[in-house]
Every structure is written in C-alpha cells, then in structure tokens.
Structure 1
C-alpha cells in the first residue's frame, strides 16, 4: 500500500516555526516540508539555507498560489490569522493555525464555515493536549483514581515582574489579542474543555500584575469555569509568583487528589537543542513527578509519586493531522473546538469588565 505524502508550506520563520512546528512536521514521514514563506531572510537567518531543497517564498500569496501545496501552517502573530487562513482555505488548502486561533469568536465561526464550504480541514495548534503531564492527569481522571472531581486547578505562573528592556518578542510589543489569556489561556482553557467539556458559567479576572506595563496588554488572568455537577475549574496565569517551583496542576476528587509542579519539559528541551527522537526527549526526571494522594482503608491520606507517562509528545499532533488528512482520524484540534475556547476568552474578559458571572 502506497502512503500519500502531503506537501506542507509554512507561513513565517520565527521562533514558533523553528521550535514548535518544524521539528515535528519533519518527524512524520507522511508530511513533507515543501515551502516556507520568509519575508526578510538574512545571512544568519535564511530558511532556504537551513532547509536545502525547499521552495522559498517572500509572500503568503505566492505560497497560496502554488498548486503543489496541500497544507499551509500559519505561524504569524494572531492579528493576521483570519485573513491568511481564509485566503488559504478559499485557495483549496488544508490549514493549521497557531494559537490563539483568531481574535474573535465571530471570526472563528466564519473560518469554520469557510472550511466546511470548501471541504478542507481546519486545525488549530493546541499542541499542549500532548503534554506528558496533562496526559498523565487525564488518565488519572478517566480511570477513576480521583473519584468524582470537584476542583481542577491549572496554572501557568511565572515570576517576571518586569518586562525585559531589550525584548523584541512580538508578544511584548503591544500586538492586539496577545495578552496572557489569549496566549497562555488558550492552552489552559483548551485542556480543561478537552477533559470536561464546556462549562455552564464563567467568571473572569483579567488584568496586569506588573507595576510597569507599557504594552497595555493584560499580563495575568484567572478564569473560573462553573459546571452544574459541582466541578469548579480554575485556570490562571500570573507574572508575579516568586516560587522555587511553580504549581502546574492541583486536582481534587472524593477519592484522591493530584498535585504537579513544573511545566511540560518539551519546550525547555527544544530550546536547549534537543529534538524528537533524541535520547530522553519528552521524558521528565523523577524529581518532577506529580503526587497522588488517596484515602486508605483506615480513612487516612496516603501519598505516592506518580511517574509522568512517556507521552506521545508534540509529534503526535502532526501524526494525527496526517491521519486526518488521509481520512483515518479526527483532527488533533479542530477549528470548531478552538472557536469555543475563543468564546470563553471573550466571555472571561467581559466578565472581568462587568464584574459578573456570565452564562456560556
């Protein structure tokens, strides 16, 4: 049986493309890196030199017009996602969009409709569904180790009370729709909804913890997701958190609780030069394992370390995308699912401004 190979074109050649996409695209045999759009290459940063044999384009329009391109991956800042995604879908391309998907729920709905009209797949890059710690926690929830879950806390806190003066990251340059709830909240809320479904109500607290924040963007948020069966999800990210190790998950049920510190190790490893397939990639050391506490037969709590699973890693996102392109699997994260997360983000911001809990 001959396996089809899908030609992939990337729009953008910055940090996101190099760290979060290219290593994983190139790890899936069914996906071929075919072209990259890089507007302003330099001798030190040239996609064509880094990836000999690819097509090198200077504009998205050139890529979209290339009949050999099957899939377009958009890694640009979010304020350009809507226009680029719509253009690619209408040109008959399947599309993967970096998160946050698009700035508004209205735009997200329109793109989902455009994809359906053109019979093309629209995926959003929710790679953290394949974090090893989240996969570990999901198994504990689903196999009943925690019993009936009543509280689920998910954190992405850091201690960065000052913005680095020489930072050139577009996330810190005042680009619209790149505040903390769009950036980190898109991951935390997606994981929660992926595990528990949509909540019935939401309460949001969105603002800035920094004393000096010239970007004008919210640098922190807390979102409370209220479920009718008694579950409360707390998703939060802050920049004033002077801790030796940052809390990642704290989930409590009537049979047990699970507490985990540290974020998934993959981003740290990728920045250090490790790549999928390298020894140790995606594996957490034992000192970062979470702790499961259960109640023994005498009614006393008993704690044990739970090894973090050898997760599918972020390669699984693109493996699943390849299967979806072949009609053998659902998308790893669909445009429709991402539209619901954008809706929650909008409601959380509205709740914060109005001081009210809102129905979803």
Structure 2
C-alpha cells in the first residue's frame, strides 16, 4: 500500500492580485499543499481575506505568521522592496519560501538568500511563471529540435500601446533601486527566459527611454526612471545577439512577442500567452482549454528547404504545461529538500539580477557592460 502523501501548510503574506490570481488558485490545485493562513494588513469589505477564506487562519502582520510553527511554506506577494527582509526572516524561522518576482532589488541580496536557504536546509524559489508560457515553450522546443538551426538573433518583446501614464502603483512609482519600474517588473520575465535558453551573456548594452515624454533617461534619480527599455545582450562564444525590448507607445494591431532568426529558419510570433488574461477575467486553471492558444494566434515558421528555397508554414503552439507545473515542481522540491528540484532557484534569479545591474550601468555610462559573473 502506498504511503499517504505528505502535506505542507502554506501561509501567504500579502493579499493583492498576485495572491488572488497567481498563488491561491494553484495552491488549491496542488495535492500536497494546503492553504493555511493569509497576512492582510488592513482587510476592508470587498477586499477581505477573512471574508473570502473564513475557514483558515488570518493575521495582520507577517511576524505572527512566521512565528506559527504549523506553517511550512511562506509565499511572499508584497512589493519587491520588502522581499529581502521577509524572505530572510522566513528562512530564519525555518520556512520554505516562494517569492514573487522581481525577487529582490540586488544580486547580492539574492546570493545571500540562496546561501541562507542552503544553511537552513530549506527551499527558496522565485515565481518566474512565464517559463511555463506556451509560446516560450514553443520557442524552446523549436531551438531544441534544431528547426531554426544555430540561433543568430533572438528578439523578445513586451510592448503595449499605453501612451497615458496608468494609476500609481509600485510597478511605476517604486524606484529601480528598490526593485520597482519596468525593468524589474516586465524585464525580469524576458531576461529570465533569455537566461533559460542561452545562459549568461558576455556583455549588455542598454538604452532607457521615457517614451511617453519622448526623452532618453539614465535610470538614476527623480525623473530618470524609464517607462521603456531596449537591451542588447551579446554572446561572444556564438556571436548571437538577444534583443530585449519593452515599450509603452507601440501602435500595433498585433504586438510582436518573439522573433527568432537562425541558420536554418526563423520563427515569428505575436500576442501573449492566454493564461494571465484568463485568470484575471475570473477563469480557472481547471477550465477546459486553459492555456491553449487558438489556432488563429499561432506563429509562423520560415525554413530553408533542401533546394535552398525559403518557405514558411504555420507553427502550432505546443500543448500548455500551464502555471500548475510551477507549483507541482515547487511542492516536489519541498518534499525532496533538494535545491536542484526547485522550479526556479535563487541562484538563477541572482544571475538575472546581474544582467539587470549590467543594464543599469550601461544605461548610465553609455558603454557595454559585462555582468558581474563575467568580471570575477
């Protein structure tokens, strides 16, 4: 007879969109995880964790949750300037930790948390859920299967047409020095995907722009935070370039997502993975077809035929693993206690932060900058 599956109690710090849309639903779908408690500082009618989940524990400050011995895992869904202290305190309290992206403001903090997790024999992971976007998995498969050949240029976008500044939020108003802004919010996703595919670049060249106001900025000081960025990551060993672009004044009917050029072909894809919009609209990961892209949204694969003539075909998006896979892997890592089983390790997240730090230095100086791991 099989032994019963071990269960782990999960406490969540923060009750915003992240908790409601990206964490609580997937905790409920992961057999070994149990939603145990939520920290919400100021519940109000219509936005109240105690009203929404009356059968679990509730706290109004993180220290109460961290001191509860029945909590095994802590999910941190607060603004990024709070992540380091909360994650450190959770590890010191003997908890496993899942931190929303962006992980922490600096790579030094990320490496410190990775070392502390090893010291405490606990798992710490970062919610880079877009590793499980179906369009990214399609790109990954095309490269792995050699459909494109040797990658010459990898272009990844997160563009929008939002010429008017949105309402205040940490994503806009928290400075980059504290983990805010577009480079940490959206750039973390794009750079993590580049890192997964190609590893660390040898150099980064960055331009920061305020597209809404029409001016170049440096990313330092008041009025210098960008709303758009263009990064060029170079890989000296292959000659490949990865172009990472985020813009807010992109007037396109279909926004480019990926454009990958290789020695045997290229892949062009527009639109975003459907999971986030589905979840934001109140859908569930158990809904039929969740994460499956409509055929009208498929990308185009161009290829060099045996006769040297270039042709093209529609390239179906792969069957989605969905964001459920992240939580499955995290639960397995907690059960095994092995850092290498974590879906996204703190060390990997630190490497991505090194790329961000190189980009910030490049935008400030106007020079190509090697990430820290290539300087050591």
Whether the TM-score (by the shorter chain) exceeds 0.5 is: yes
Q: Which residue of 2 aligns with 1:271?
A: 280
Deviation at 1:306, TM superposition (A): 1.2
Q: 2:310, 2:247 → 1: CA distance?
A: 31
Q: Which residue of 1 aligns with 2:366?
A: 355
Deviation at 1:168, TM superposition (A): 4.4
SS at match of 1:8: strand
Deviation at 1:173, TM superposition (A): 3.2
Structure 1, unmatched stretches of 5+, are none
Q: 1:134, 1:178 → 2: CA distance?
A: 24
1:220 to 206, 216, 228: 228
Q: 1:217, 1:269 → 2: CA distance?
A: 31
**Residue 300 of structure 2 contacts residue 312 of structure 2 at CA under 8 Å; is this kept in 1?**
yes
SS at match of 2:226: coil
Moved over 6 A (4+): 212-215
Q: 2:101, 2:83 → 1: CA distance?
A: 9
Change (3 A) 1:326 1:174: closer
SS at match of 1:156: strand
Deviation at 1:120, TM superposition (A): 0.9
SS at match of 2:211: coil
2:322 is equivalent to residue 313 of structure 1: yes
2:157 to 150, 155, 158: 155
Number of aligned positions between the proteins: 358
1:199-214 superposed matches below 5 A = 199-211=201-213
2:300 to 291, 313, 322: 291
RMSD: 1.5
Q: 2:188, 2:170 → 1: CA distance?
A: 17
2:313 is equivalent to residue 304 of structure 1: yes
Deviation at 1:52, TM superposition (A): 2.8
Q: Which residue of 2 aligns with 1:10?
A: 12
**Residue 208 of structure 1 contacts residue 219 of structure 1 at CA under 8 Å; is this kept in 2?**
yes
Q: 1:252, 1:218 → 2: CA distance?
A: 28
**Residue 257 of structure 1 contacts residue 293 of structure 1 at CA under 8 Å; is this kept in 2?**
yes
**Residue 173 of structure 1 contacts residue 215 of structure 1 at CA under 8 Å; is this kept in 2?**
no
Q: Which residue of 1 aligns with 2:251?
A: 242
SS at match of 1:343: helix
2:139 is equivalent to residue 130 of structure 1: no
2:71 is equivalent to residue 69 of structure 1: yes
Q: 2:170, 2:186 → 1: CA distance?
A: 15
**Residue 172 of structure 1 contacts residue 215 of structure 1 at CA under 8 Å; is this kept in 2?**
no
**Residue 170 of structure 2 contacts residue 181 of structure 2 at CA under 8 Å; is this kept in 1?**
no
Structure 2, unmatched stretches of 5+, are 216-221, 372-376
1:114 to 113, 116, 137: 116
Deviation at 1:298, TM superposition (A): 2.3
Instruction: Tell me the TM-score normalized by structure 2.
Output: 0.92
Q: Which residue of 2 aligns with 1:81?
A: 83
**Residue 162 of structure 1 contacts residue 212 of structure 1 at CA under 8 Å; is this kept in 2?**
no
Deviation at 1:23, TM superposition (A): 1.4
SS at match of 2:159: coil
Change (3 A) 1:233 1:315: same
Instruction: Tell me the TM-score normalized by structure 1.
Output: 0.96
Q: Write out per-residue CA displacement over residues 6-55 of structure 1, whole angstroms, 9 at most, x where no aligned residue.
A: 11110000011111111111111111111100000012111122123111
Q: Write out per-residue CA displacement over residues 201-256 of structure 1, whole angstroms, 9 at most, x where no aligned residue.
A: 11111232111899753211111111121111111101110000100000011111
